[in-house]
Structure 1
């Protein structure tokens, strides 16, 4: 139950970090737990085993706040059914790929009165989790204990102290008092540390917690405590109706102590979870390192059936760089919807902005200060020259001694070298070499083009008049690969339909006609389109007189993308990040028409005249005279 009712008045990480097995080896370093009796023999509460996937890059941490009103033994009021349902939910959903619940954290106030009978009932309920092998933590709230963690033994410690977790693989250890515990769970192929801290932690308790973090310097840390932040909006708002849902909480007086004593100087702490106050809310603060720490209140004791054992589910997705949060009542969800009363209908899932939301979270960038992201080393050109390679251009060894890029050698050895061409009046730095590159690109460099149309400006590259690639018709198939990044200042009017790779020669001159034919457009062009920033590969095959066009979805700016066009001798498919796009026509497409003219990298012509220049970055470019499998792409 919260006090001071008004509360304060005021975004592929973890690559093989080699941190497995921490929990099994570090127990002795964390201080001895009090010698208490083992938990009682479990009864037949569970329905299966807890079975999460520790390697999946999508996982869930379940959070259970203040269940105190369910356990008020001194008033002869014990209602464990809602919490039992939540524990069953954790167990039964642990093995589901869309949930993959790897840990359960209780935020304190397990009881209303700290009575022995209340804790006996709590302990009996948690036998459901014990029997199924759930990795979980608990901590003491102000209704479970009084004073700070030097208080000595209590019914809480006797029932829910560290002795209860000795059989858990996730249990790392406790401080000497037993009120502060550390847990390590495995998720996304990596260990994560969760600290469960007392309602009021002493200086010795904070020293212990700092020491735990120091001894595990590469583990991301979630801090749980009963009180850290409280809401800044009205406590009568139910449900949340107004204000800023991302900035509606602030430190309590004790929360400021926790920040100063533990959080701000430990960059590994990225998320804190507390109950005690209501309504729920959150705020983001910057630590000493200048990085975000997300501080969340989650508490539903003031809702129907004292919150009904509600769970806050934090769905981590390391592929999408997102943490999706939802709040559900498993106790209600277990019931037949047709039999639910009016309050159960309203409370089964909470959907206000403080109860259901998504947090953009760049895991690699946020954790880079203590888990440096391994940089994939550059690969030598001879490792990229797969059989059938006709041309390979990369830019890490380009001569820039004169300041600008003037030529690029074809590393395939076939003589398809590139030379510089510029629009008259173009600045010398319109085409420069940079170290920027796609993380899976073989060469660690790119070319930065500063071009456009309306007015026409910029510099580009072209094959020579005798380059073998000019006459290649690709009758047996082909693969064209490159890496591109579109800058934030990209503009549809100036940069729309900008060229990546273009084969010169108007389609009309090549004898092309029929549906969708523009006789003045090039016979082949890989480009990004107006406004939507989709990739388009438009080409005129040998097998027909009209073009075939592949279209991708839109590409986000300021992000590297791998693009590939693969033709198996009959059909052309466009891929973005090794994923086929929707608009890949079934049209028979054999080869690419040729007038024996050069290829342009970053330049486009229409009716034989240059009309546009690329704006952004282009990385390695490879052209192969056969269809490559996905595992043969330059990203592999």
Structure 2
């Protein structure tokens, strides 16, 4: 990606951000941050899947597990006396696609054939717009007004999943062909920058592509942080826009959320199918997003993602020589609650999400990462059967139960944080 090509596709929105002078870059803190938590909501697609509701013959309404997650976040928000100051949904809010092909790619000359091997692409389109998107919105209504939050589109939140006719499936070899996703009208109908969730909110500070990419400022005590949400396989224009946001809020510790980024092995994920960057020169896979954006901006210290069932963690070194903490969690494939209800083999999610508790006032700043189920009312570390239930499904059978649990209950030592952003009591000004 070149800056010229990115600006050509991004247009005036990115030009205005990049030409604006950086904010007066004082330290992100004017005093103590206090302990605070960021809630990470992994893929919720199986909760809102129309097939996982009583009216479709499922033994219970799986959407209630999703609502329970959102109520718990609201009840534990700082505004309600808790310690959660920000929530980020890492994408795949709902399950099914709502169109055969999106008009934008059709207008650019892309051809398509139906993806016959994918239930989510071939399902009745009416259920996505009539049920799945509305109940997803109802979930966010439970946290609206309680705390700042972000939601990014995953591949399932795009309008269409289609197959490139020049790379069709090959049943004789098992090759799935090359698929692409496109279209954001469904996502924008729910989470655009003009929606009641975000319009007029002082913490919602920037957006691009009608809210498919967005930026938020959240506070904890006397500290401010920047969060940037990027759409699935963020195109060049999205990365150029995000670079402008970084320039505008220079010096603020920054977290990036995007749907597909890290794999279970801690490496940036390159096995996704669809993988848009194969077909579309505007799109960027996780390695490209690292090379062209994340690694170039030293104030980005953490990247959060989902998409890949299970958990992943690694530390990468950016171009300034500083660490970037990469964290992945996706629990959509868990089905213990379905098993208990007589629907063995069905995947729901079981109410699991990530809670990241920050302690930035200590001499050794850290983030305590824990995994909590609002259905079972327990942390993973408090559930004796946790590994028995989930280890095999997460393709981690080779691990001991204790080592498997460590993937969902661990501490990140932010050894560089005070040096990069300022220690307690220290106020710096950059020009």
1:540-594 residue CA offsets vs partner (Å, 9 max, x unmatched): xxxxxxxxxxxxxxxxxxxxxxxxxxxxxxxxxxxxxxxxxxxxxxxxxxxxxxx
Pairs within 5 Å for 1:53-132: 56-73=33-50, 76=56, 79-95=62-78, 100-114=83-97, 115-116=128-129, 117-130=131-144, 132=145
Shift of 1:260: 1.1
TM-score, structure 1 as length reference:
0.44
CA contact (8 A) 1:74 1:118 kept: no
1:438-495 residue CA offsets vs partner (Å, 9 max, x unmatched): xxxxxxxxxxxxxxxxxxxxxxxxxxxxxxxxxxxxxxxxxxxxxxxxxxxxxxxxxx
1:262-297 residue CA offsets vs partner (Å, 9 max, x unmatched): 100100110000000122010111000000001111
Moved more, 292-301 or 166-175: 166-175
Against the structure 1 CA distance between its residues 269 and 372, is the aligned structure 2 distance closer, same or farther, given a 3 Å change threshold? farther
1:143-200 residue CA offsets vs partner (Å, 9 max, x unmatched): 1115799955422210122223114332112114431011110114122111111012
Pairs within 5 Å for 1:440-519: none
TM-score, structure 2 as length reference:
0.63
Q: Does 1:252 align with 2:270?
A: yes
Question: What's 1:364 paired with?
Answer: 418
The structure in which a higher percent of residues are helix is 2
Give 3-state SS (helix, strand or coil) of 2:202's partner: coil
CA contact (8 A) 2:191 2:211 kept: no
Larger Rg computed on CA atoms: 1
Against the structure 1 CA distance between its residues 149 and 249, is the aligned structure 2 distance closer, same or farther, given a 3 Å change threshold? closer
Question: What's 2:360 paired with?
Answer: 318
Against the structure 1 CA distance between its residues 293 and 169, is the aligned structure 2 distance closer, same or farther, given a 3 Å change threshold? same
Against the structure 1 CA distance between its residues 29 and 80, is the aligned structure 2 distance closer, same or farther, given a 3 Å change threshold? farther
Distance in 2 separating the partners of 1:249 and 1:73: 33
CA contact (8 A) 1:278 1:297 kept: no
CA contact (8 A) 1:152 1:177 kept: no
Distance in 1 separating the partners of 2:80 and 2:419: 25
Q: Does 1:287 align with 2:314?
A: no
Question: What's 1:156 paired with?
Answer: 187
CA contact (8 A) 1:81 1:331 kept: no
Distance in 1 separating the partners of 2:422 and 2:180: 34
Question: What's 1:495 paired with?
Answer: none
Q: Aligned match of 1:207 in 229, 233, 240? A: 240
Distance in 2 separating the partners of 1:27 and 1:333: 44
CA contact (8 A) 1:149 1:201 kept: no
1:340-397 residue CA offsets vs partner (Å, 9 max, x unmatched): 9x889968xx98111000111132113259x99548xxxxxxxxxxxxxxxxxxxxxx
Q: Aligned match of 2:408 in 335, 355, 372? A: 355
| CA root-mean-square deviation | 3.6
Give 3-state SS (helix, strand or coil) of 2:86's partner: strand
Shift of 1:56: 4.0
CA contact (8 A) 1:109 1:144 kept: yes
Distance in 1 separating the partners of 2:310 and 2:331: 7
1:318-354 residue CA offsets vs partner (Å, 9 max, x unmatched): 12311111000112219xxxxx9x889968xx98111
Distance in 1 separating the partners of 2:88 and 2:62: 20
Give 3-state SS (helix, strand or coil) of 1:201's partner: coil
| Structure ranking higher on relative contact order (CA contacts 8 Å, 6+ apart) | 2
The structure in which a higher percent of residues are strand is 1
Q: Aligned match of 1:144 in 130, 137, 157? A: 157
Distance in 2 separating the partners of 1:68 and 1:225: 16
Point out 4+ residue stretches in structure 1 off by more than 3 angstroms: 26-31, 74-78, 95-99, 146-153, 248-251, 342-347, 371-375
Q: 5+ unaligned residues in a row in structure 2: which ranges?
A: 1-12, 19-30, 98-127, 162-178, 272-284, 338-347, 391-401
Distance in 2 separating the partners of 1:153 and 1:346: 36
Distance in 2 separating the partners of 1:329 and 1:218: 35
